[in-house]
């Protein structure tokens, strides 16, 4: 096989608890990563001359700073393959949205090239490489909806009941670094068990701060909570979401979106298309 086209899926944090700050400056978290059947599309075509290409360019992102290229470099450095690849990106997910666009792209690239280049790395090895690129990359390599702890790398697959989500993209870019370094961020939420979340739910500890700093997020949630009182923000934002029992209901709410609030409807899935390409760990 010399070519491959894959969905690079979005994720939602169904809740996000910050349970403490580590000595290295990172935060200990609890969250549930829900994978979606919606995302970017990445196409890979191998080449024998060692050249790496990516099209189109992303505005404001230098070639070597793109997480896709960082993933290519990291895999090649680990395995010294020396092969090349042409990568085509069909971008649908917003950057800085809290739905994992860049991390998902990096994970898809690692899994796809491990397969196409015949690197032979197992899932754990790929996740270790991915963790160097970003805390959310391992969950996309794992390719399963999962309960996560630590900095987000300790994963426990979980089967969720099918739901449909309306995801809204406020017109702002939230800096994850800004939120996690902010003095007003809640950092002392008590840890909970999976069963407690499934029974009682949870909150996003970043949401109150982001709503205060970014009125666009606050306004989007005010609108969305008219249809789902449990609507919330994913990750550090800016995207917000609501869940519904059917596609029809989700699409009917989407049809009422104000013109300044773009959004999409997606179904939650327990496995992403990457799962079938994963070697045993």
Indicate which residues carry an active-site annotation: 11, 136
Q: How far apart are CA 214 and CA 223, in angstroms?
A: 15
The token duo for 102 is 């860049």
Helices and strands of the chain, counted as H and E runs: 9, 10
Instruction: Extract the runs of DSSP E, i.e. beta strands, from 111-269.
Output: 146-150, 154-157, 164-168, 232-233, 240-244, 263-269
Dmax over CA atoms of the chain, in Å, equals: 56
- Residue 244, CA atoms < 13 Å, CB-side half-sphere: 23
The token duo for 135 is 């805390």
Residues counted in the chain: 281
Q: How far apart are CA 197 and CA 239, in angstroms?
A: 21
3-state secondary structure of 169: coil
The token duo for 260 is 């300044």
Question: What one-character-per-residue DSSP string does 218-235 give?
Answer: HHHHHHHTTT-TT-EE-T
């Amino acid at each position: 096989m010399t070519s491959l086209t894959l969905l690079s899926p979005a994720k939602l944090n169904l809740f996000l608890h910050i349970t403490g700050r580590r000595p290295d400056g990172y935060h200990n978290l609890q969250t549930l990563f829900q994978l979606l059947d919606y995302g970017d599309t990445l196409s890979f075509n191998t080449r024998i001359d060692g050249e790496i290409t990516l099209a189109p360019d992303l505005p404001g992102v230098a070639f070597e700073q793109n997480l896709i290229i960082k993933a290519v470099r990291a895999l090649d450095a680990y395995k010294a393959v020396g092969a090349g690849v042409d990568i085509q990106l069909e971008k649908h997910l917003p950057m800085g949205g809290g739905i994992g666009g860049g991390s998902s792209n990096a994970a898809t690239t690692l899994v796809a090239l491990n397969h196409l280049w015949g690197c032979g790395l197992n899932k754990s090895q790929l996740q270790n490489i991915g963790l160097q690129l970003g805390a959310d990359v391992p969950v996309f390599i794992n390719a399963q909806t999962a309960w996560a702890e630590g900095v987000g790398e300790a994963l426990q697959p979980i089967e969720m009941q099918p739901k449909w989500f309306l995801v809204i993209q406020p017109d702002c870019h939230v800096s994850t670094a800004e939120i996690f370094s902010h003095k007003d961020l809640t950092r002392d939420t008590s840890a909970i068990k999976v069963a407690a979340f499934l029974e009682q739910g949870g909150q996003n500890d970043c949401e109150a701060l982001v709503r205060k700093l970014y009125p666009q997020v606050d306004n989007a949630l005010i609108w969305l909570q008219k249809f789902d009182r449990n609507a919330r923000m994913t990750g550090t934002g800016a995207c917000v979401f609501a869940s519904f029992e059917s596609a029809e209901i989700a699409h009917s709410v989407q049809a009422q979106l104000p013109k300044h609030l773009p959004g999409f409807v997606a179904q939650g899935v327990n496995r992403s298309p990457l799962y079938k390409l994963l070697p045993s760990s």
